[in-house]
Amino acid sequence: MTDTTGAPGGRLPSALRTEALEQLLTERGLIDPKVIDGIVTTYETNVGPLNGAKVVAKAWTDPEYRRRLLADGTAAIKELGFSGPMGWHIVVVENTPTTHNVVVCTLCSCYPWPVLGLPPSWYKDPSYRARVVKEPRRVLSEMGLDLDEDVEITVRDSTSEVRWLVLPERPAGTEHLTEEELVPLVTRDAMVGVAKVAAP
């Protein structure tokens, strides 16, 4: 039998196997693809990033919580009820006017799921993973974030042992906002370090 897949041992790549399995289960009426899509969307855009936004807003408005968060991210995040798989050891680093942190996983796509949900496709892309380490300022600029030359950029490499979360700068003009009002301003990209939080 001729191997036409191009994969080692003639096996289909995992993405194709997953798609084939989903199609088979759908045809047999065992799963509803709309439900699956809804779950994925929830974790990509709502549940995860919303959890992280709550952590950031709390740190912006509660100096004592911010201190605990920077000292032991995992424990402080757990205080708010966010923990579980992919969130066993989260280290939080703070962006300031003179220092900027950006997160990558050069080996795969390790990511703090409890506070950010599922990793976006660009985070898993080999180009981002390779280039942001070598030329972070240029990659950030291409993603829409232009930093002054005097801002020091540190690239944080997530691993299966340590996952990083960025505490972004609180935007000017938000001093009057409550913790609850700040939450919607915080984006997933700001907590990865490829964007800043914009003022309302």
pLDDT tens by residue, 87-134: 789 999 999 999 999 999 999 889 998 999 889 999 999 999 999 999
Q: What percent of the chain has pLDDT over 70?
A: 88
The helix or strand, by DSSP H or E, that contains position 52, with its residue range, turns out to be helix 47-61
Show which residues are catalytic: 105, 108-110
Which DSSP symbol is given to 81?
Answer: T
> What is the number of alpha carbons within 13 Å of residue 1 lying toward its C-beta?
6
pLDDT for 192 equals 98
Q: CATH fold of 33-192, please?
A: Nitrile Hydratase; Chain A (3.90.330)
- Mean pLDDT score, 7-14: 57
34, two tokens: 């709309």
Comparison of pLDDT for 15 and 196, the residue scoring more: 196
- What residue type is assigned to position 84 of the chain? G
pLDDT for 5 equals 45
pLDDT tier at 1 (50, 70, 90 boundaries)?
Answer: very low
Residue 20 near residue 12 (C-beta atoms within 8 A): yes
**C-alpha dist (Å) from residue 58 to 22, 34, 186:** 40, 34, 11
Domain range summary for the chain, segments of one domain joined by + = 33-192
Sign of dihedral through CA atoms 109, 93, 57, 128? negative
pTM for the full predicted model: 0.79
pLDDT for 65 equals 98
- What residue type is assigned to position 77 of the chain? I
Burial classification of residue 1, based on how many CB atoms lie within 10 Å of its CB (0-12 exposed, 13-18 middle, 19 or more buried): exposed
The model's pLDDT over 131-173, given as tens digits with 9 standing for 90+, comes to 999 999 999 999 999 999 999 999 999 998 999 999 999 999 9
pLDDT for 26 equals 82
- Averaged pLDDT of the chain: 89
The model's pLDDT over 176-200, given as tens digits with 9 standing for 90+, comes to 999 999 999 999 999 999 999 999 9
The model's pLDDT over 69-90, given as tens digits with 9 standing for 90+, comes to 999 999 999 999 998 877 789 9
Comparison of pLDDT for 142 and 21, the residue scoring more: 142
In the predicted model, is pLDDT for residue 60 greater than 60?
Answer: yes
pLDDT tier at 46 (50, 70, 90 boundaries)?
Answer: low
